[in-house]
Amino acid sequence: MAASLVAESISKAFVTGKIRAEVLSDLSLQILPAELSLVSGPSGCGKSTLLAILSGLLRPDSGRVFALGEELARLSPDQRERFRLQHTGFVFQGFNLFPALSALEQVMLPLGYLGFGNAAARRRAGSVLEEVGLAARMHLRPAELSGGEKQRVAIARALAKEPQLLFADEPTSALDAANGQIVIDTLHRIAHSHRATVLCVSHDPRLISHADRVLAMEDGKILSDRRVRTAASEEVSS
């Protein structure tokens, strides 16, 4: 199976005044479709920077990134924006929902940018909200939803575009154990049922047993790479 995300020797540093902090160091990896890959590690180890680079939101200082066969650095800013709109979905720790919109309206919103008419967007949004277990809650606003429900709305909003690439940045860190379980199970199911590439970064150890593959990260490098669901100690070449 061909990798959907490829990083080749990427490095990234941030400079503040005279201080240069290296966040990623000569990192290479390949991420496969139809599975949930988890990048796990302590806060500040470079997980979110890696996700931002793989999703095209941030450029590496050196190295190359390929997403669905496209070298991201060769795309113009407009082309990268269009690529993200058409092929990627994002789920963040803070939900990023609009207070005045219902769950249904939140999920319909990105579909308008893809050219969906109102009726078609409403049907698609209703379908994905049903898929994440929120059919009965779709007309409620964020203030009327629990934290877990808000995150499932955010997942539905990302899923509505039927993205081939789904990126999740600390999706369970603001949730209790029960809601965190529902969210990670939902992401895992999406990877398998939609044949999507789901890349999640988190320092939450509860997620490890729910991933197909776990990449342990520390100090800007991948320390270990193993498949959890096939053989817990199986090393994955990257």
pLDDT tens string 178-228: 899 899 999 999 999 999 999 999 988 888 888 999 999 999 999 999 998
Spatial contact of 4 and 191, defined as CB atoms under 8 Å apart: no
For residue 223, the SS3 value is strand
Q: Which domains does the chain have, with CATH numbers?
A: 5-235 (3.40.50.300)
What is the pTM (predicted TM-score) of this model? 0.91
Q: Which residues of the chain have pLDDT under 70?
A: 229-238
- In one-letter notation, the amino acid at residue 138 is M
Is 233 buried (19+), middle (13-18) or exposed (0-12) by CB count in 10 A? Answer: exposed
Q: What are phi and psi of 40, to 5 degrees?
A: -115, 145
So what's the pLDDT on residue 58? 94
pLDDT at 22: 93
Cβ proximity of 155 and 132 under 8 Å: yes
pLDDT at 82: 92
Output the pLDDT for position 229: 62
The Cα 13–Cα 218 span in angstroms is: 15
